[in-house]
Structure 1
Amino acid sequence: MPRIATGLDELRALAGTDLGHTDWLEIAQDRVDTFADATDDHQWIHVDPERAATGPFGGAIAHGYLTLSLIIPLFNQLLEISGVSMSLNYGLERVRFPSPVRVGAKIRLRGTVDSVEPVAGNGVQMQLTFTVEIEGASKPACVAQAVYRHYA
């Protein structure tokens, strides 16, 4: 169950909060192939499991940007926001991909609310650090600092 924040005051109160982690999500080849079709990135390390098995990662891997994009649906498992008129993905401050996600691996999202500051227009800007963990791995797949804006 996600944490629920209703309104800007409850969002402000989340500054410094560890939101915990999501359930594990298995990365299947069909998800990687669909992402390759959507982005026109059909590099063999992603879409050719036989060739990728002899490559540098020992198998096909997810696109880094696929891993990054999965923050969006996974974040919904961490925090549900209500009582606002509009929420916007305002951007990213920093993104790194320390370790590839092999097809068949499971990932989960860990999130921390770094800060919540007021912005013009009766809103708040929330900065979060997201870490995409790989089951059984010592290094994360992705670490990103995301910025969202929420308006009353």
Structure 2
Amino acid sequence: MRVFTTFEEIEAATGEELGVSEWVQVNQRRVNEFADATGDHQWIHVDIERAKDGPFGGTIAHGYLTLSLIPWLGSQVFTLQTPGAKLNYGVNKVRFPAPLLVGKRIRAHVSISSVIDIPKGKQLTVKHTIEIEDEERPACVAETVVLLLP
């Protein structure tokens, strides 16, 4: 676990992989609960029998479910203990290169893409690559943006 206490430490880590999270299995219950929370009950996610004959041979996790796991997976890799507020500013670029079959395990590779000065502090961009166990392509690649205010 990397712990950053100053803006200078964060800037020095730009371009560096900070680490890798633990593996987590994405099971059907999690997918169903996400479907309930979002109202997205598309059969490819929740209908096990129908999905067996679908393009992936089984149900797949919602892309946005995978994306929503980034804060939790990232918290296993690094923490920001800088003074001041840390605000989720958004997401720059998100891609879902490969389907995440339900039952597979994922983990996050985390690196700092950039730290730029803004009038009220710093803007931190963090790249998250969500690896699928035993798969060549990742489930998700996303750049999250955090505002660091002194």
TM-score, normalisation: structure 1: 0.94
Q: Aligned residue for 1:8?
A: 7
1:56 to partner: Cα distance: 0.7
The answer to whether the aligner puts 1:146 opposite 2:115 as a matched pair is: no
Given that 1:6 and 1:83 are in contact with CA atoms closer than 8 Å, whether structure 2 keeps it comes out as yes
Q: Distance in 2 between matches of 1:107 and 1:71?
A: 11
| CA deviation profile, 1:49-108 (whole Å, cap 9, x unmatched) | 111111111001100000011111001011111132211111111111010111100000
Where do 1:46-57 residues align within 5 Å? 46-57=45-56
What is the 5 A alignment of 1:1-150?
2-121=1-120, 123-150=121-148
Q: Counterparts of 1:5 and 1:94 in 2: how far apart (Å)? A: 24
Distance in 2 (CA, whole Å) between partners of 1:149 and 1:68 is: 19
Q: May I ask how many residue pairs the two structures share in their alignment?
A: 150
* Paired amino acid for 1:151: L
- Structure 2: runs of 5+ lacking an equivalent: none
Measured in 2, the distance between the counterparts of 1:27 and 1:53 equals: 17
Q: Quote the offset at 1:113 in angstroms.
A: 0.5
Whether the aligned pair in 2 keeps the contact of 1:14 and 1:116 (CA below 8 Å) is no
Instruction: Describe the SS at the equivalent of 2:18.
Output: strand
Cα RMSD (Å) of the superposition?
Answer: 1.0
SS at match of 2:127: strand
Q: Which amino acid aligns with 2:21?
A: T
Deviation of 1:116 (Å) = 0.9
Deviates more, 1:54-63 or 1:5-14: 5-14
After TM superposition, give the deviation of residue 148 of structure 1 in Å. Answer: 1.0
- The unaligned stretches of length 5 or more in structure 1 are none
What percentage of aligned pairs have identical amino acids?
48
